[in-house]
Structure 1
Amino acid sequence: MTTKEELAERYGRAPRPRRRRLYWIAVTGVAALLVAALAWLTVANSFDDVGFDETGFELVDARTVTVSFQATPPAGAAFACAVQALDEDFGIVGWRVVEYPGSEETTRAFVETIPTVAQATTGTVKACWVT
């Protein structure tokens, strides 16, 4: 006759070794730490984010474009924006980096003039960042 221990050994019902359980606890802990670190990096990067919305552009003449936009920097933070003028093939024909002082206003509107080296067809904001 077979005993319970022989059946458990034959069909895999033996208790799991302690070492294997500790391995999976460690793997789960490391995975949880990596997810938490990634979440923190995502949140921390958004604190210094400057949002912007283009509100229009005007072709003043063959060598000048004005670009209108709104920027939403963090409160009190100085920031800069790269504004550019593009031709019909989307080549850059003029650009300018403009720096703005910090302010407690949430959203601020700007109109910037860009000199160009050729006829432009549009003006746009390339990027804004905290300085």
Structure 2
Amino acid sequence: MLAIRGPGGTRTAWPTLGPGYPPREHPLSEQPTATLDDRYGRTPSRARRSRLIGIVVAAAIVVVLGAWVIWAGPGQTSHGIDSDDVGYKIVSEHRATVDSQVSVDPGTTMKCAVQVLDKSYTIVGWKVVTLPPSTERTRSITTSVNTTTRGVTGLIHTCWVP
């Protein structure tokens, strides 16, 4: 409805805009809900697809997390490995000896990588030593390492259980 004010007062009139005006109902109320759902992507197939994608992503996360737990989890033990550098001796231009003290659980075979460095911290000698099982936890080892040039220090780089 339209209120018109004029010199004779206020009167109410329907505007003359064409047939079917004023509309009896709002135009959106005549559209079925399914049409609006289709228009805005709220279809049952899209809901199923979204649910399926969510389940696949959740399953992938569980698989990756499970693999990580198995790889880095409680099955990995350190066997009580410990190593300390005691000293070194540069024997000649192409040889050095490295004295170390290593500890591991009794009855465990262990390998250690021993290295000799020069004055610019470049590795000039490297040797992997295999230590057989022992009844004692801690033992001293002396390793002779051949070098390419004169070394200035020697040490254990790392130890591990093969």
Counterparts of 1:104 and 1:52, CA distance in 2: 17
Kindly indicate whether structure 1 or structure 2 has the higher relative contact order, using CA contacts under 8 Å at least 6 residues apart.
1
- In the other structure, the counterpart of 1:61 is 92
CA contact (8 A) 1:85 1:116 kept: yes
* Percentage of pairs with the same residue: 33
- In the other structure, the counterpart of 1:103 is 134
Secondary structure of 1:118's aligned partner = coil
1:91 pairs with one of 119, 122, 130? 122
- Change in 2 beyond 3 A, CA 1:88/1:67: same
Q: Unaligned stretches of 5+ in structure 2?
A: 1-64
- In the other structure, the counterpart of 2:16 is none
Report the Cα offset of residue 104 of structure 1: 1.2
Q: Unaligned stretches of 5+ in structure 1?
A: 1-33
Report the Cα offset of residue 100 of structure 1: 1.1
- In the other structure, the counterpart of 1:120 is 151
Q: Deviations over 1:92-126 (max 9, x none)?
A: 00100010110110100000000000010100100
Structure 1 consecutive aligned stretches of length 4 or more whose deviation exceeds 6 Å:
none
Counterparts of 1:47 and 1:84, CA distance in 2: 22
1:78 pairs with one of 106, 109, 114? 109
TM-score by length of 1: 0.65
Counterparts of 1:95 and 1:50, CA distance in 2: 20
Secondary structure of 1:60's aligned partner = strand
Counterparts of 1:49 and 1:130, CA distance in 2: 10
CA contact (8 A) 1:57 1:68 kept: yes
TM-score by length of 2: 0.54
